[in-house]
Structure 1
Amino acid sequence: RPYHASYQKKYPGNLDVVLHGIAPARHVEQLFLVTLGRPPSSAERGTFDRHTMNARDDAKRQSALADIHWALLNSAEFLHSS
């Protein structure tokens, strides 16, 4: 998956840089803030927190976070924001 591969490199604006220094428990919230400009709802947080908690190691967690970011980037809310 090219998206995931490109986001594993460290350069300004990529997922690793965006989440650097933020507690893992706040990663989902940070993705929402930088992508949609708002915090996740309780339902969104629960869904995405479960998705990341299923990751058993750092590589799988990074992949889960990239999946979440990709979903947010492809959401109607992101695509139709002005």
Structure 2
Amino acid sequence: MIELKHCPFCGAKGKLRRVLNGYRTDPVVILDKWTVECPNKCCQIKTFESEIYQEEDGDIVIKHNGAEEAATAWNERA
């Protein structure tokens, strides 16, 4: 997992949080949404969605990794 930077306003370490967990059927796809926020509620970035499924041969496919995308966006903010 990516190390999160500190909040630009209060200096607290950013916290990765799953905002929503869900799924879609036929085929089954996990659709979690993630964000990074300041634990003191100073700021938060938008949410990013994960899309993960298993192929017929058993391979796991991570089409989008929302947790990683949220962490990257938090660390690259202006």
Higher gyration radius (CA) = 2
Which has a greater percent of helix?
1
Q: Same fold (TM over 0.5)?
A: no
TM-score of the superposed pair, with normalisation by structure 2: 0.32
Which has a greater percent of strand?
2
